[in-house]
Amino acid sequence: MKTLFDGGKAFKHIEKLAVDIGARPGGSPEDKRAAEYIKGYFEGLGLDVSLQEFEIETGYCTNQSLEITAPYKASISCSGLSMIGKTEPEGIEGELIHIETTDEEYLTPEITGKIVITNRLQRKNLDLVKKLKPLGFIFIEAYPRVLPKHFWGNYPQNKDYGNYPSMRISFEDGLKLLKKGASKARIVVEAERGKKKTQTIIAELKGSTHPDEIVLVGGHYDTVPNVRGASDNAGGTSIAMELARVFKEKGSKRTLRFIAWGSEEMGLDGSNLYAKKLKEEDKKAKEADKDKDAKTELDMVKLSVNLDVHGAMIGTNVASILGPPMLTHSIKLLSKEQGTVFDVKESVYSSDGTPLSAIGVPSASFSRKSGIDIMMHSVEDVIEYLSPDALALHGEFVETWMTRYVSEAAAFPFEKEIPEKLMKEIKDYYKAWKSPLP
């Protein structure tokens, strides 16, 4: 089967998003520029484009520093988390305490009034942290040889769990600080917070014979702060944009909605909202309408294809499925037939496919796994590691798979069901993030 997917064309979108525009955290001017670029591209293809706008609470650091003050003096480079806590310009000084993780076992009154050094804040334990009132947090990266990652430390649902000025430092700096027995530090995290508008971009190609069977194909276009996000996820966005061009040219029996999800990095905001609205409208329509046969939008959405983390020149292919066994098998079989190796698993992929599956829409999340993944969410997620060929390899596969089983299939092959075991995994995922199911 001849494919139309052009890796070079997709790569150009990455150049625009990750090089020209650069970091584009939700609600920033660059986020808006990226959205305009994507919207303009979809419109240029002649697709029916709409925006789903929404508000997010976000923040950015204006100043951050970490000074060890006893028993020796040192200055350590760090990345402040703007939304977990902030200080005045002079910062705060406190005793340091090291705990391996923020699991319940380690959260004891010993941390009260101290700056906690650890490598992860478990959101599920925020209530316990709130009771213990540590002074702040220093998070050590989990892996050596990566720069401190950039996050917000935003609280789930913007609920207030207290003010903990926090920052991330490298694995090497963490090691040094622990070896040398650092006992006191001064941390500065100056930050600004506020509500900002962002958006999800939706471009529809109406199905020629089965317009009421809808398949979503998308990737998030936002980034974490100060990170260009070439692989995560200008890569996935570029594949979705190129697939839109391909299917506009090929045509489709079923309706395809190409989506650039907004604010994924803050907590799957765009896709959570989209799923929530589908579910609410479905509920309202079914309550209001006596005619139970009338189809709602949610009834019509059959599948969600998600593309997140793509383009690594040196890498391998992964598909994570939340849906019926047939969906898993279709990718495994095509992988054998085409000779493009995919590691196909049935599990939650922490991205925009999951909210849809939480409301009963099967999802297939395609991604490119690579050694560069350890640099994800750091300033080293840059275009130099990516290649048009890697995009083409993956993009051609997804195009072929979609052509056979979605756009040209005589009957839609995948049942709309999420096996119980996978639904439990989805619920556990939301629980760990203290986030409500859509």
Q: Smallest distance, Å, CB 414 to Zn ion? A: 24
Tell me whether residue 218 or residue 395 sits nearer to Zn ion (CB atom).
218
Q: From its phi and psi, is residue 91 left (phi > 0), alpha (psi between -120 and 50) or beta?
A: left
- Considering the complex, state which of residue 185 and residue 376 has its C-beta at the smaller distance from Zn ion: 376
Instruction: State how far the Cα of 363 lies from the Cα of 348, in Å rounded to an integer.
Output: 10
CB burial of residue 239 (10 Å; 0-12, 13-18, 19+) = buried
Query: How many CB atoms lie under 10 A from the CB of residue 201?
Result: 28
- Nearest distance from residue 306's CB to Zn ion, in Å? 10
Nearer to Zn ion, 330 or 365 (CB): 365
Nearer to Zn ion, 61 or 309 (CB): 309
CA–centroid distance for 349 within its chain: 9
DSSP class of residue 207 equals: -
3-class DSSP string for 375-426? HCCCCCCCHHHECHHHHHHHHHHHHHHHHHHHHCCCCCCCCCCCCHHHHHHH
State in angstroms the smallest separation of the CB of 243 from Zn ion: 17
Contact assessment for residue 136 and residue 166, using Cβ atoms and an 8 Å cutoff: yes
Helices (H), 20-70: 29-44
CB of 26 to Zn ion, least distance (A): 12
Which residues sit at the interface with Zn ion, rule CB under 5 A?
232-233, 308
To Zn ion, the closest distance from the beta carbon of 151 in angstroms equals 13
Residue in the structure block whose two tokens are 């401190």:
148
Compare residues 255 and 378 and give the one whose CB is closer to Zn ion: 378
Q: Report the nearest approach of Zn ion to the CB of residue 73 (Å).
A: 39
Shortest approach of Zn ion to residue 86 CB, angstroms? 26
CB nearer to Zn ion: pick between 16 and 220: 220
Closer to Zn ion at the Cβ: 166 or 306? 306
Pinpoint the alpha helices (H) of 180-268.
236-250
